[in-house]
Amino acid sequence: MSAVTQDTAVSTSRATRVFLYLILILFALFYLLPLYVMGVNSLKPLPEITGGNMMALPSTWTLDPWRSAWSTAQIGVEPTGLRPYFLNSILMVVPAVAISTVVGALNGYVLTKWRFRGDTWVFGLMLFSCFIPFQIVLIPMAVVLGKLGLAGSVPGLILVHVVYGIGFTTLYFRNYYASFPTELIRAAQIDGAGFFRIFWRILLPVSGPIAVVSVIWQFTNIWNDFLFGVSFGGTSQPMTVALNNLVQSSTGVKEYNVHFAGAILAALPTLFVYIVAGRYFVRGLMAGSVKG
């Protein structure tokens, strides 16, 4: 391999560099401010907040707001905390992300490597589904879920999110596989591999980067979704709906510290996915398959 330098940055003087970093640090602090406010206020007793010291560090540190948000806070009429809803969300998100990603990968594979008459139309229609606003499908979806007997259940929510997500995942995988050399598929055909064998042995092993993109996208969207959750959740509402019920309760004392803790709890899984999967994001797994 050649020793070409990867450093493409413009060379700058020390003074400019210091200045740049200062600006960047300032911006970073500005963006971190909300997280700081949430963090510190979730760790102090309520009187400290209502006393008017939002920005100060807690004078008495406590984990009670977190415990309360997790297991005892009043959600709607039940004092269950966010825990059962967190579980609902996990039960919904994991299968929905997995199914929509696998279906998207298969769609992308067929649309690029097993072309058929009218395939561009099929792809166009799937692409179109990415532009349909959530609100439009609410009523038809409610009817469909009712007919399928899935209304108000976790499987119902999974179905909704899978259907809604396939457009995006198909788009990702199709565009990724479009640049995958067709000669490799042909070579595998001559070698005797069938439809699924080619998918499993040849295509999937190099789909890492796009699978990560798809998983992050789907996870974030489904986890953060409120509208479908509140509309079709029924008795198995997801975390977002529960958080809303926690924060928006119109009776009793507003427990801001519990609200802050709950909000962080609701955001943690997406943060986790970004941190874990993010490093696989940019890996060039295709290097060297074909002479460029």
Partner 1 sequence: MGFLDIRNVTKSYGNVQVLHRVDIAVEEGEFLVLVGPSGCGKSTLLNMIAGLEAITGGEIAIKNRVVNGVHPSKRNIAMVFQSYALYPNMTVGQNMTFGLEMHGVPKPERDKALASVAKLLQIDHLLDRKPGQLSGGQRQRVAMGRALVRNPDVFLFDEPLSNLDAKLRVDMRTEIKKLHQNLKTTIVYVTHDQIEAMTLSTRIAVMNKGHVQQLGAPKEIYDTPANVFVATFMGSPAMNIVPATVVMEGGHPHAAVTGADGAVQHLRFSQPGLAAWKGKPILLGIRPEAITDPEGADRKSGNIVALKNRVTVTEPAGADTFVTMTLSGKDVIARMRADAAVTPGESFDFAVNMDKAVAFDPATEDRITA
Q: Which of these, 111, 101, 292, 106, lies nearest to 198 by C-alpha position? A: 106
CA–CA separation, 105 vs 180, rounded Å? 13
Number of residues that bind partner 1 (CB under 8 A): 23
Contact call for residue 181 and partner 1 (CB under 8 A): yes
Q: How many helices (H) and strands (E) does the chain have?
A: 13, 0
Query: Smallest distance from the beta carbon of 39 to partner 1, in angstroms?
Result: 43
d(CA 230, CA 224): 12
**Shortest Å distance, C-beta 199 to partner 1:** 13
Query: Binding segment for partner 1 among 23-31, 54-62, 63-71, 193-201 (CB under 8 A)?
Result: 193-201
Binding mask 122-161 for partner 1 (x = CB under 8 A): ----------------------------------------
**List 183, 196, 268, 279, residue binding partner 1 (CB under 8 A):** 183
Tokens of 216: 């992050």
Q: Does 206 bind partner 1 (CB under 8 A)?
A: yes
CB 274 within 8 A of CB 212: no
Say how far apart CA 195 and CA 199 lie, in whole Å: 6
Q: Is 187 in the site for partner 1 (CB under 8 A)?
A: yes
Beta-sheet strands, E only, within the chain: none
What is the SS3 assignment for 75?
Answer: strand
Question: Is residue 53 near partner 1 by the rule CB under 8 A?
Answer: no
162 vs 202, beta carbon nearer partner 1: 202
Binding residues (CB under 8 A) for partner 1: these are 181, 183-184, 186-193, 197, 201-202, 205-206, 285-291
